[in-house]
């Protein structure tokens, strides 16, 4: 364990630590972020009333919409001079969400990622090839700093360029690969198609750290079989810190939540009521130590279950099940968060359209594939192919520039998209 | 008056072209010539029919995306080099042909080519004084009843 004292702390001691830190965090948000003060004053809650963990229920929730409404720096609790880094989610202007980190926050971020890596068995002897995208996305830099903190030799290759990924696995002797699970399968596909004589077991690769998109046990087996590695899940969300909110251990059964930094609750997504341990519901996060961007009762919309199972790895930290779904319509496509409403607003920008559309998300090989079907009405139609091809191209370009995803645009006949009760079925997710 | 072309958007899938043709057949609309420009996902069906207005209404009623466009219908000799020579007139004026296709039957012992230009009037000017016969709408659909 990277931090034995914390990771194997007795349950009651952990609760004491959490209560003490919650008091600080709630007070910190209330005193320094006008949004929290206003919201709490209006709802009749005051940080002085927070005396035990039972009082959590009295605190209003915090949502992604609140982040958008306060774009970009409105929810920061420290002056910008204390903020050393920002990360941001995808989104059209005003739809993007921005989070900030102080030096201490980066330290915490690195610590929880280092703990995650250690829990899979990564050590300072390892050569870690980080194929998460470096940039505004939390995955790249998050894993990078955590790996360095652990002392692993870190190869900051970033995402894409599959032939080069494979070359470095060979030449640098990488032992650990970090990426989205679908990209790992993409590498396996590439080897199979283009390098039939190459045997992956001739390399030193032994372990994979995968996250940033939902994946299944079946995908784990496939990755392990095809890349000849052990594959582990890392979970996180930028609103709370990034990857490293929770991670699997050697048992590969459930993810331990780093409870000394993140307080978790399961609620009924309809009523907002807290559900008893073991119930399935929406997981809600509260940051306990974050300085720049405190998040108090953040509704993640991720559906899971919390439980304790006296894990063989020796960690006493609460476990969460692999996230199985969402309580809203957000799609995660190649690690990018996309809401159907964002897709709609892109289509609305195309001149003369209030098109009926349908988004079909599927796996093409191992990568997520997004196809947007757009019904061609009379305003869009032309007797010239080039006009229609330009239409597809301009929609594709807009998707790339404002959502950061490449989508295949298919123009279809009017009335060809199925409608339920007159309203078009907007999203078909065939990955489920 | 220019010849009117009726165009329709058709998915590139079995049965879809037939659906459009059935709508026209049910209304007694005769297709004089047609061409299809296809992509992997869809095609554009372009037709010269005996009653483009009625064809347009019929397709619209069935929610088929369609439009009408003026095209240039030009008689040329049915001999080697005639089309080559006709295109000379357009090239000289730097006029780009968006697309073109042919009538399936001869008229007055001549071939008929359909041209789509960005600006049809300019194309007609290009042919002026060169002895070409431009087929008029009335020649194809007759007097409107």
Tokens of residue A192, six digits: 């199979």
Q: Check residue A161 and report its DSSP letter.
A: -
In this prediction, residue B145 carries a pLDDT of: 43
- With a cut of 50, say whether residue A242 has pLDDT above it: yes
Write out the residue limits of the CATH 3.30.300.30 domain(s) in chain A: 336-429
User: For residue A344, what are the CA distances in angstroms to A238, A354, A374, A422?
Assistant: 24, 9, 11, 17
Q: With contacts defined as CB-CB under 8 Å, which chain B residues touch A389? A: 39
First to last CA, chain B: 17
CA distance A15 to A264: 12
CA-wise closest residue to B69 among B125, B17, B114, B10 = B114
pLDDT tens string, chain B, 145 residues long: the values are 899 999 999 999 999 999 999 999 999 999 999 999 999 999 999 999 999 999 999 999 998 999 999 999 999 999 999 999 999 999 999 999 999 999 988 888 899 999 999 999 999 999 988 889 999 888 877 765 4
Q: Is it true that domain B72-141 has CATH number 3.30.950.10? A: no
Query: How much is the CA Rg of chain B, to the nearest whole Å?
Result: 16
Q: Which class is domain A336-429?
A: alpha beta
**Tell me, what's the ipTM?**
0.85
> Out of 3.90.1150.10, 1.10.760.10, 3.40.980.10, 3.30.2130.10, which CATH number does the structure's domain B3-69 have?
3.30.2130.10
Is B7 in contact with A383 (Cβ distance < 8 A)? yes
CATH 3.40.50.12780 residue ranges for chain A: 1-328
Query: Who among B11, B63, B99 is closest to A412 (CB)?
Result: B11
pLDDT at A65 over 80: yes
Q: Are B108 and B75 in contact (CB under 8 A)?
A: yes
Two structure tokens written together for B6: 């009726």
Q: In Å, how far are A127, A187, A197 from A202, measured between CA atoms? A: 16, 16, 11
pLDDT digits (tens, 9 = 90+) for B107-143: 888 999 999 999 999 999 999 888 899 998 888 777 6
CA A192, A194, A200, A204 torsion-angle sign: negative
Tell if the CB–CB gap between B65 and A384 is shorter than 8 Å.
no
- Domain boundaries, given as residue ranges, for chain B: 3-69, 72-141
- Does B72-141 match B3-69 at the fold level? yes
CB contact under 8 A, B9 and A413: yes
Work out the pLDDT band at A377, boundaries 50, 70, 90.
Answer: confident
CA distance B14 to chain A (A): 13
Least confident of A60-64, A155-159, A326-330, B122-126: A326-330
CATH code 3.40.50.12780 for A1-328: yes
Q: For residues A297 and A61, what is the distance between their CA atoms, to the nearest angstrom? A: 5
* Contacts across the A-B interface (CB distance below 8 Å): 55
Sign of the Cα torsion A170, A171, A177, A178 reads negative
Please give the average per-residue pLDDT across A391-411, as a whole number. Answer: 86
pTM of the model: 0.70
- Which distant-in-sequence residues (6+ apart) come within 8 Å of A3 by Cβ? A111, A115
* B9/A389 touch (CB, cutoff 8 Å), yes or no: no
What is the per-residue pLDDT across A12-40, written as a single tens digit (0 to 9) for each? 999 999 999 999 999 999 999 999 999 99
Share of chain A above pLDDT 90, in %: 69
Residue A328 reports pLDDT greater than 60:
yes
Length of chain A (residues): 432
Q: Residue A177: how many CB atoms within 10 A of its CB? A: 27
Tokens read off for A80: 């910008």
CB contact under 8 A, B9 and A410: no
The Cα–Cα gap between A305 and A281 comes to: 6
The answer to whether B37 and B62 are in contact (CB under 8 A) is no
């Amino acid at each position: 364990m990277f931090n034995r004292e914390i990771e194997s702390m007795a349950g009651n001691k952990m609760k004491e630590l959490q209560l003490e830190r919650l008091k600080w965090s709630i007070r910190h948000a209330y005193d320094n972020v006008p949004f929290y003060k206003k919201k709490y004053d209006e709802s009749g809650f005051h940080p002085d009333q927070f005396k035990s963990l039972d009082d959590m229920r009295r605190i209003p929730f915090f949502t992604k919409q609140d982040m958008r409404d306060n774009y970009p720096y409105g929810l920061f609790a420290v002056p910008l001079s204390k903020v050393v880094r920002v990360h941001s989610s995808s989104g059209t202007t005003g739809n993007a969400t921005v989070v900030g980190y102080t030096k201490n926050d980066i330290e915490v971020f690195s610590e929880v990622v280092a703990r995650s890596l250690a829990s899979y068995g990564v050590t300072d002897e390892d050569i870690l090839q980080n194929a998460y995208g470096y940039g505004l996305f939390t995955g790249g830099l998050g894993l990078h700093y955590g790996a360095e903190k652990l002392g692993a030799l870190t190869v900051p290759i970033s995402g894409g360029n599959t032939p080069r990924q494979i070359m470095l696995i060979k030449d640098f002797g990488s032992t650990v690969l970090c990426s989205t699970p679908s990209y790992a399968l993409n590498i396996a596909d590439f080897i199979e198609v283009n390098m039939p004589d190459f045997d992956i077991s001739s390399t030193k690769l032994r372990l994979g750290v995968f996250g940033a998109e939902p994946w299944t046990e079946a995908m784990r087996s496939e990755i392990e079989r095809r890349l000849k590695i052990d594959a582990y899940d890392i979970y996180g969300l930028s609103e709370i810190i990034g990857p490293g909110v929770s991670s699997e251990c050697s048992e590969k059964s459930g993810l331990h939540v780093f409870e000394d930094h993140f307080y978790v609750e399961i609620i009924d997504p309809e009523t907002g009521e807290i559900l008893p341990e073991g119930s399935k519901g929406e997981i809600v996060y509260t940051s306990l130590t974050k300085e720049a961007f405190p998040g108090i009762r953040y509704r993640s919309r991720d559906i899971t279950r919390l439980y304790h199972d006296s894990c063989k790895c020796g960690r006493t930290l609460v476990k969460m099940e692999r996230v199985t779904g969402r309580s809203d319509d957000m799609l995660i496509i190649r690690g990018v968060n996309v809401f159907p409403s964002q897709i709609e607003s892109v289509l609305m920008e195309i001149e003369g359209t209030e098109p009926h559309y349908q988004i079909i998300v599927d796996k093409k090989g191992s990568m997520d594939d997004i196809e947007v079907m757009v019904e061609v009405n009379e305003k869009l139609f032309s007797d010239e192919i080039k006009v229609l091809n330009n239409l597809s191209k301009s929609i594709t370009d807009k998707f790339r520039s404002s959502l950061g995803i490449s989508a295949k645009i298919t123009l279809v006949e009017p009335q060809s998209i199925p409608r339920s009760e007159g309203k078009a079925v907007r999203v078909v997710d065939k990955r489920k | 008056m220019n010849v009117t072309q009726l165009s329709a958007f058709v998915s590139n899938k079995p049965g879809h072209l037939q659906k459009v043709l059935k709508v026209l057949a049910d209304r007694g609309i005769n297709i004089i010539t047609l061409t299809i420009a296809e992509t992997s996902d869809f095609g554009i069906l372009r037709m010269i029919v005996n009653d483009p207005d009625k064809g347009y209404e019929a397709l619209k009623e069935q929610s088929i995306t369609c439009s009408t466009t003026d095209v240039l219908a030009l008689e040329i000799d049915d001999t080697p080099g005639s089309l080559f020579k006709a295109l000379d007139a357009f090239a000289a004026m730097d006029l780009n042909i968006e697309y073109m296709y042919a009538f399936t039957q001869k008229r007055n012992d001549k071939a008929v080519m359909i041209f789509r230009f960005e600006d049809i009037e300019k194309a007609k000017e290009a042919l002026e004084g060169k002895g070409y016969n431009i087929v008029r709408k009335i020649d194809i659909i007759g007097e409107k009843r």
